[in-house]
Every structure is written in C-alpha cells, then in structure tokens.
Amino acid sequence: MALDTSFTYLLTNQLLGPGLSLDDGRGRVGMAPATGDGGQHWRLVPHGPGKHALRSLRLGDCWSLDVDHDQRAVLAPTQDVTGQLWTVIPRADGTVKLISDFTGPRRSLRADGDTHELRLERGDHDGHHWTLTRLIRIPDVLPVPVLGSSQEVEHTEGLSEPGLYVPPTGTVRAVMLFVDFPDAPTTDPPVAGVADHLLGSGRAQRLFHDQSYGQLDLDVTVRSDLGRRRLPKPSTAYSWGTLEGTWESHRDYIADAAGRFPDVDFSAYEIAFIVAPEMGRFPLSPAFIARAGDGPAAPGGAIHHAVTFGADSYTNRFVNLVHETGHLLGLPDLYTIGSGAEDSRAGCWDIMSDIFRSVSFMAWHRYKSGWLPPARAVWIAEDTPGRTMTLHPLSRPEGVATLVLPVDDPVCPTKVFVVELAEPVIGTNGEPWGEGVLVSTVDASIPSGQAPVVVIPHRDSHSDVFGNLFEAPYGVGDVAYASEDPFASLTVEVHRKRGSTYEVQVSYHRH
C-alpha cells in the first residue's frame, strides 16, 4: 500500500478485528476499542529511506513507539535508537507487517488473541497482520504535547508513569470501609454520617464528573452496613498519616485493615478508602500507591491504590478526598512540602494546591488527565507579535479554554506557559471569589511537593479567607508579563470582557 505520511492512520489487527485499535493509552500502549480519538491517530514520521517513527497525535513528538529488552512494544521518549525505527512491509491481502530495527526482520509486531499484549515475535499469523486505515490530514499545528520529564523524577506534570496510577477516564470504582483499634475504640458518629461528610453528600463524585466533562465517574460503594471493624494491632503499631510515617507502615496498615473484611472482594475496585476514627494518632489522610507486585494482600487481590483517612478528614471539606484521589489519578502536589497551601506558589487556584478554598482543577490538570478536549487547548510554538484570542471558562463545555506556549524546547518541552480563565474559589466564609485571566508556568522537571506550577500574579497578596495569591487574575486593561531566561517571554494583554469570555492579545517571543 502507498503510505501518505501527511495523514494519520488507525491501526487495527487482523486477529482482533476492526473493533480494537492501537492506542497510546496516554503512555501505556495497547489495544483499545476503536473510537478514533487522538490516542489512536498514528503518524508515520519519515526517518531515513523506508524507515518511520510511529507517534500518536495526542502525545506529539516527545514520545515514540519503541521496543523494550523483553521484545514488548512500549512508548518511550523520542530518541535516535533502533527500537523506534519501523519498517512497514505490505502483504498481498492489503495488511502490513510492522518490523523494528531493534529486533530485526524475522520478528514483527504481534497482538495476542487472549491478552492483547503487543510483542515483537517470529511468525506470520493473523496477529502479525495490521490494517492501516487513513484518517485525517495532519494539522499544521499539532495538539498541545504531553510534557517530557526526567525518568528519575516521579509524580510530575508530565506523562504519568504507565501502569502506576488509576486511569483518569471511565468509571473508577472505590470501596469505603471503616476501622478502629483495640487501644482506641471509636466514639465517632455513625459511619454513614462520616461517609456523607467525606464525600460531601455526593459533591465529590459530581466534581469529578463535571470537571472531566463526563469522562470520569467516581463510583463509591460505602460499606456502612459492615460498621467499624477492629484491627488486630493497636494504633501505636502504625505510623501512617504522621509526618514520620513510612510507606511500609502505610502498606502494613492497609493490609491489616483489608484483612478484617473477608466479605469484600477488593478485586472489584480500583481504589480502597479506609477510614480510621477521629483520633490524634493519625492527623493526616495520605494517598497510597503501590507498584505491581508491591501492593498489600487483600481478599480477592492486592490493593495498589488507596486513601487512608485520619483526623484531618473529619474537619476538612470533601475536597480533601478529591485531592487525595487526584494523586491516585497521577496529579502531583502543587504546594511545597513542609509549607502548605498558605504559601503555595500555585495559590488558591487548584485542588492540588489548596483544599481549603479551591473547588476546581486548573486547565493543565484537566488536559493532563485527558479531560479537556484538544480543540479547547491551543498550542502556540512560534513567535507572535500579537495574536488576539477569546478565552472561555473551563466550566463551559466548548470554546477555547487555555493557551499553552513552550518555555524551553518548542517540539518536546518540559516547561510551558499556560493562560486560562480563573475558576472561582470558595472562601472560608462560604463566599465565592475570583475572575479574570490566570497566567502560570508548568514544569515537568519538578517533582510533586516542590511547586511544579507557579502562578504569575497580577497582585502578590494573601487572604486568610480566600487564600494565597487570591488577587492573581488579570482584569480588563491589565497586562501580564512573564520571562523565562534564556528561553522565552510572554505578554498577555486583557482587552475586554464579553459575558463570561475574555478577549486577550498574546505576544510571545523565543529568545
């Protein structure tokens, strides 16, 4: 077949049929129902005579299809390596074989009929045969790329490590269970009331549904019918939820708690919410993430994602649960560890920064999670002396909601400028606050808890009611200026407001 590299292609497998196609999995390549979204639009990027790199439209040029040392197909940072050089071999029936230079001409990409695993194997069977269906002409300006980051830095604003976090789309099932300790029998209110407080009477579920534009549903099964079950060890046997806590103690606690519920099949849930009584021993409510093979044993299977609720959850708003669940979905802390929301450089504008006032995720977190449609995020990588754009609120279902511009590498950036409209926060007095244009930087080279997002404020001010940088947004007539030497500078002039939209003029220059 003649390949036109100016188009994207859908890749389906002869063995698995047309209902499944190659999908970037937002970093974990595999076969998925053929919907034709950006993760299934593959570009064949020429790389020498007869060779191509395979890159998805969604992830951009930073990530390419590669082969690991176990001959598995994986996505890896784009490099000049043999695993990312592919040859397309046409067959008489119109299908093709995909051969990588790393494994040589005797092996080709094969999909397993049972597991759908993708490996480079010998043979010439249906699983080796692929159909390339032409989709759309590649746009002149690619979608906003997923940020690259160092492999040594975990839990960043870049591509989430494949397989480590809960996928942030679809239905995510959680179970909520309640425990106490022999040295601390509970005097708390009935567990049903505790669950209602933690979930905000359903507001936590609605928040995820609304801010993901219906792409994520958090389905929580509250087992209040099981009451509180007592752990075999006293509370003093654990250090989870304290500043001195260790990951191992956290895992031991979750294992002991799960063991008290033999009537719960944990394999039916992606997340376990485990609620301790309100007691001083465990002041905090941390998220728990375990790699494959490291999760604590539980009836039905190991637990890899959990939130354990301590004393703070009884006084904090339901956003506490949303924040910790955000970690399980791959979102980092925006405040600085050891400091907190009151000094956060992202201010009060994101749930991962301030759980006391924010009730929203900023644009980058919605885009990183795969919630914000690509058409609502505009990528500007070329110098522009003055480009006029209209920004729409994130809360609306359509319209351009954010502008993203590279700070460093214009093809595969690790740091970007982001321009969006502020979503109102709720002050400690219960009143809403905040409107206007927010300008920030997002840096994927900075780990969670070290301020990876920095809001560039109109006014650098603090309020006990509305939080840090509460006057950050720019209004009509204001000008925002940001410079990141030696890379790029950005000027945003706010011209006018029409209804809920703002017209801005963006001037961007690469140094």
Q: Is residue 82 a contact partner of residue 102, using CB atoms and an 8 Å limit?
A: yes
Distance CA 10, CA 357 (A): 44
Distance CA 34, CA 36 (A): 6
Please report where in the chains the tokens 């010439």 appear, as a residue: 124
Q: At 13, which helix (H) or strand (E)? A: strand 7-13
Per run of 10 residues, the mean pLDDT along the chain (length 511 residues) is 88 97 91 90 93 93 94 92 96 96 97 96 96 93 80 81 90 97 81 95 98 97 95 91 86 96 97 91 93 94 96 96 98 92 96 98 96 94 95 96 95 94 97 97 95 97 97 98 95 97 97 91
pLDDT of residue 98: 98
Please report where in the chains the tokens 């196609």 appear, as a residue: 21
Q: Per residue in 8-21, pLDDT tens?
A: 999 999 999 999 99
> What are the residue boundaries of the structural domains of the chain, listed by start?
7-137, 170-329, 363-510
Q: Which tokens go with 28?
A: 């974990």
**Domain spanning 7-137: which CATH class is it, in words?**
mainly beta
CB neighbours of residue 471 within 10 Å: 18
pLDDT of residue 250: 95
pLDDT of residue 150: 59
Distance CA 475, CA 299 (A): 55
Q: Per residue in 368-424, pLDDT tens?
A: 999 999 899 999 999 999 999 999 999 999 999 999 999 999 888 999 999 999 999
pLDDT of residue 376: 95
Domain 170-329 sits in CATH at 3.40.390
Distance CA 314, CA 135 (A): 52
Please report where in the chains the tokens 């063991």 appear, as a residue: 259
Q: Is residue 401 a contact partner of residue 437, using CB atoms and an 8 Å limit?
A: no
pTM of structure: 0.92
